[in-house]
Structures are given as C-alpha cells and as structure tokens.
Structure 1
C-alpha cells in the first residue's frame, strides 16, 4: 500500500460544487489515488456541524463501495475538519491512498525500511515555477 492521506477540501457554501467534486473524483478514476473513506461535512450559518455519507449525494453515490472502502473517519475527525471551515460552508473529507507511490513504498518495505512521515507543503509556499526555489 502507498502513503495514505487525510484531506479536507473546503467549499464556500453549504452545498458541494459539482465541477470541483467531479475533478477530484476523476483522480480516482485514473488510478492516481484510491479513495478509502469520505464524508461531507457542513458548518451551518449558525455554527452547527453536520456530517453526511457520500451515498446521500447523487454526484457521490457509490464511490465508497468495494474492497478499498474502510470506515476510518470518525466524529472527532469531522469536528477537527469543521474547525477549518467558515460558517455557511462545507467540505469533502477524504482518506486517500497515493497509488502512484505504491511501488516505491513496496520497495522501501522490501529493503527493511518504512514510511515514517509526510509533510504537506502549503500551496502558497510553492512557487508557480518550482525550479525558481521555494518562497
């Protein structure tokens, strides 16, 4: 198995934006990532936090079926993700495996190594041209 990541994708309204959802889910179809778990979290205008399964949304229905699906996202994760949201917004909460890195992870383990950490670099810290150096 390749590296697994917990990702929160926020949207400025209480409803998902279908084109963005389709683009993210397109990665799954190409085999770049494997979707392991996912929920939709909403932080209402009053500050209430709601969570919904993917099957409650037409555009997400059936994405978490099969052998790859696992229930890893718990209530604490939903509330932690909601802390990142503004009132009146929503987010896709995803747990994905980076399939593209699976071969490297297998080779590292076969050599007696292990993946011990990963740090996401914020987009504002990466220049448009990576050859120019980190800001």
Structure 2
C-alpha cells in the first residue's frame, strides 16, 4: 500500500463516537466491511477512549484485546492519523466514551476528481449532512408535492 499512487479521490476524516469507553466488536466489523467496499478506501483509523476519570488513550483497533478475534482488523493502513488528532478528538469526548477516527478516500469520485485536476480545478469544499436532516428535508419535499406545490 505504501507504494500506491497519490490519492486521487476526495478524502474525508470521520469521527464516530460511542457512548461507552470501548469500541464494540460490531463497529470494528463494520470498519472491516468498509475496507472491503468498492466505493471507498480506508486510509487510516485510530480509536480514542476516554475513561470515567477523563483520561484519554488511543490505539489501533487491533491493539484492543476484545477485538483480536475480528478478522481483517489488522489490515495495513497508512499512519496518517496521529497523536494530535487523537488528542483533539479526546477533548470532544465525554468521560466514559470512545471514538473511532476514520480517514477514507472516496474511490467512486476518483475519475471525476482526476478530470477536474487535469483542467486546473479542484474539489474546494464538502459538507457532511446528518441523515436526520436529509430525512426531514425529504418529508418536507413530500409534503409540498402532496399539497400540489
């Protein structure tokens, strides 16, 4: 993986939070499935845990004893998420909670991004819209359609 061409598709850093001071097996398994998905590539990931006293630690998921049985969790990643990122995320966490930081590349947009760069353009911005906001907008649009607007 280290000899790979430079990133071509847009990349995104996600912070997924959990209400307890652990990353569940289900979440780790979902990350493995994401690695296998055709539309994105997991570039790096890092877990941050803030214990009940407020002390924060960070580690690779494969370093957690309770996750050692998750097949595919130890896949090689580029070490791009560092201690500074972990500390910043830890400051957002409530004591007794955890987060998974995931850096992904949107492979589905790779060709469009390359074409854009070829003409001197670039992806200037991106906005993450929470699913509940989309659902609300869909309901509002459906109501307008039903009302004949």
Q: TM-score, normalised by structure 1?
A: 0.83
* Cα distance in 2, alignment partners of residues 24 and 74 from structure 1: 19
User: Aligned residue pairs: how many?
Assistant: 129
Post-superposition CA distance 1:86-134 (Å, at most 9, x none): 211111111111111112111211222111111212333222563744x
The residue aligned with 1:3 is: 10
* Cα distance in 2, alignment partners of residues 85 and 114 from structure 1: 33
Please list every run of 5 or more consecutive structure 1 residues that lacks an aligned counterpart in the other structure. none
Structure 1 pair 111–102 and aligned structure 2 pair: CA distance change class (3 A): same
Which of the pair is proportionally richer in helix? Answer: 2
How large is the Cα RMSD of the aligned pairs? 2.0
Q: Which has the larger radius of gyration?
A: 2
The residue aligned with 2:110 is: 102
The residue aligned with 2:80 is: 72
Tell me how far 1:55 sits from its aligned partner: 2.7
> Deviating runs (4+, > 6 A) in structure 1?
none
Q: TM-score, normalised by structure 2?
A: 0.76
Structure 1 pair 34–88 and aligned structure 2 pair: CA distance change class (3 A): same
Alignment of 1:1-135 (within 5 A): 1-57=8-64, 58=68, 59=70, 61-63=73-75, 65=76, 69-127=77-135, 130=138, 132-133=140-141
* Cα distance in 2, alignment partners of residues 98 and 53 from structure 1: 22
Please list every run of 5 or more consecutive structure 2 residues that lacks an aligned counterpart in the other structure. 1-7, 142-149
* Cα distance in 2, alignment partners of residues 54 and 17 from structure 1: 10
Between 1:35-44 and 1:121-130, the stretch displaced more is 121-130
